[in-house]
Structure 1
Amino acid sequence: ELLLTRVVGQPSVSSLRESPWNEAPTLAFRNEVPTQVNNKAAVHNAAQFRSPANDPILMKKLLELSDSKTEHLPGLLPFVPGMPVILTQNLAIELGLINGINGIFRQLVYEADSISIDALSNTFPSNTQYVHQSLYALIEIARSKIECNLETLQPKIVSVPLMEQTFRVDVTDMLPKNKKPKSNQKAMLSIKRRALPLVPAYCITTHKSQGQTLSKAVIDLKLPNETEDIAAVYVPLSRLKCLIDVAILRPFDYEVLRIKPSKSQVAEIERLDKLYIDTQFRFSEYFQ
């Protein structure tokens, strides 16, 4: 019942446009949602700055694919000064530059002659500038383990390089009817992409939020009908320490809070409990 008082529109959370909620990440269950929300959020925030942050149709659709389908290298990566981002690849584990760590975008370094204003997506406004040859991005990562300042850079500023991945994608639904394969065959493309291993963090999946402790967060508890995974509710709610640190995006079915662990989850918990007991017995000297 206390969570119901945190739904946006209630006196406790009147609007997401006001502080601190306008700076809090939104946790979403589906992989496709963060890509859409992050693009819209980047467009919205870019409007506050004076400076605008073979088959062309197929190319646009490939660029707009969710990063969950492209080895976490987005085709279109919107940048706005001060934008929250998440690293999607391990750069240096020993330095804390790992997949999932949060940072703040500070600067993009790129080839000067690689900018165009030719629209690559209808998601972004007409005055968007597209950088086709990025070199690296400067990201402020407060939780990095780098003990000294990198040469010529401010404290906690890290240079994030381009990374390369190859992935396969089914483009059957992206092709016009006259080019689709006959019967039930799939049209698979193997794509090699070289891009920055970053995604905006205005909105992140609940999976990506695991292991994080957030100061504030906006959570959507209206789950897809087929979802009966306790983690979809437990994970986002457990990212916060206090009730006043959470805002619930919209009204939700109270029954989602009563979702119980599945049989496989219960079995895994029992397995881990047994493993813990066995470990205590075998190495009792370490548990005294």
Structure 2
Amino acid sequence: TEDPRYLQLLERLRHGQCNYDDYELLLTRVVGQSSVGSLHDEPWNKAPILVFRNEVQTQLNNKAAIHKAAEMRQAPIICVAQDTCKGKPIEDSILVKKLLELSDSKTEHLPGLLPLVPEMPVILTQNVAIELGLINGMNGIFRQLVYEEDSVSTEILSETFPSNTQYIRKPSYALVEIVKSKIECNLEQLQSNLIPIPLMEQTFRIDIADVLPKYKRPKSNRKAILSVKRRALPLVPAYCITTHKIQGQTLS
């Protein structure tokens, strides 16, 4: 914020030294019935929902993406993460399902199942190019997905999404409109502010004891840790954002 009074308030708040004037200032920022006629009106219809937990964020973002696809009369498109172990694809269907449904807070913030609908707000979850301003937490608008045509499947991978959902197993990159990037020229054959976001890789560790056959499970409640390398788009929908991620951002 550039508001000096609010900056001073935040500084006092950090040290537990707020005063009555701070209280009066905060009262001017309360959203009440008198100031908001309907949450369907701008700019409130574009304001994200704030939550504390990543799991709740994912659930609400999935519902919002499904609703957006229905509004546009399109089938939802889901980008499926590519998970490997020791360089080989994971083939066990139960384990695949477990990995894809993990909260992205447990997968180095690369989602297993990423719903995408044109014109939906998204947020970067990785530092793609720091020098260009494409950093973790940057907002944008998803425009288009580029993928291998033979990688489209309608096989249901999650009951969360409707039966007409198309699952993309081999996405190449996503075209995202990012106004606040530091790219000073238009990329060839792309509109202004339209930036290709590539797939990224991260490795995470997960306890898989609960999906192993009984005779393979470790004794004495010991963990069975599997190291998984995930390749996926570093994006999540931004209809709902955690309070941690939203710090420092505004409606504009």
TM-score by length of 1: 0.68
- Secondary structure of the residue that 2:113 maps to in structure 1? coil
Aligned residue runs from structure 1 range 1-288, under 5 A: 2=27, 6=31, 10=33, 12-13=35-36, 16-53=39-76, 54-173=91-210, 180-215=217-252
Give the Cα–Cα distance (whole angstroms) in 1 for the partners of residues 171 and 204 of structure 2: 20
Structure having the larger proportion of residues in strand: 2
Query: In the superposition, relative to structure 1, how do residues 5 and 150 fare at CA in structure 2: closer, same or farther (>3 Å)?
Result: closer
Give the Cα–Cα distance (whole angstroms) in 1 for the partners of residues 141 and 29 of structure 2: 32
Shift in Å at residue 182 of structure 1? Answer: 3.3
- Secondary structure of the residue that 2:226 maps to in structure 1? strand
Give the 4+ runs in structure 1 shifted more than 4 A. Answer: 1-5, 10-15, 173-180
- Secondary structure of the residue that 2:116 maps to in structure 1? coil
Query: In the superposition, relative to structure 1, how do residues 113 and 46 fare at CA in structure 2: closer, same or farther (>3 Å)?
Result: same
Structure having the larger proportion of residues in helix: 1
Give the Cα–Cα distance (whole angstroms) in 1 for the partners of residues 198 and 50 of structure 2: 27
Deviations 1:164-186 (A, max 9, x none): 11110123345677765432211
Opposite residue 78 of structure 1, the aligned amino acid is: P
Query: In the superposition, relative to structure 1, how do residues 113 and 15 fare at CA in structure 2: closer, same or farther (>3 Å)?
Result: same
Count, aligned residues: 213
Query: In the superposition, relative to structure 1, how do residues 15 and 62 fare at CA in structure 2: closer, same or farther (>3 Å)?
Result: farther
Opposite residue 207 of structure 1, the aligned amino acid is: H
Give the Cα–Cα distance (whole angstroms) in 2 for the partners of residues 90 and 40 of structure 1: 27
Give the Cα–Cα distance (whole angstroms) in 2 for the partners of residues 69 and 174 of structure 1: 17
Query: In the superposition, relative to structure 1, how do residues 205 and 179 fare at CA in structure 2: closer, same or farther (>3 Å)?
Result: farther
Deviations 1:218-276 (A, max 9, x none): xxxxxxxxxxxxxxxxxxxxxxxxxxxxxxxxxxxxxxxxxxxxxxxxxxxxxxxxxxx
Shift in Å at residue 21 of structure 1? Answer: 2.7
Identical amino acids, percent of aligned pairs: 71
Deviations 1:63-118 (A, max 9, x none): 01111110111110000111111111112111111111000000000001000000
Runs (5+) with no aligned partner, structure 1? 216-288
Opposite residue 22 of structure 1, the aligned amino acid is: N
Shift in Å at residue 127 of structure 1? Answer: 0.2
- Secondary structure of the residue that 2:64 maps to in structure 1? helix
- Secondary structure of the residue that 1:160 maps to in structure 2? strand
- Secondary structure of the residue that 2:71 maps to in structure 1? coil
Opposite residue 77 of structure 1, the aligned amino acid is: L
Give the Cα–Cα distance (whole angstroms) in 2 for the partners of residues 196 and 3 of structure 1: 40
Deviations 1:41-80 (A, max 9, x none): 1111111122302332332221011111101111100001
Give the Cα–Cα distance (whole angstroms) in 1 for the partners of residues 62 and 117 of structure 2: 11
Give the Cα–Cα distance (whole angstroms) in 1 for the partners of residues 28 and 57 of structure 2: 23
TM-score by length of 2: 0.77
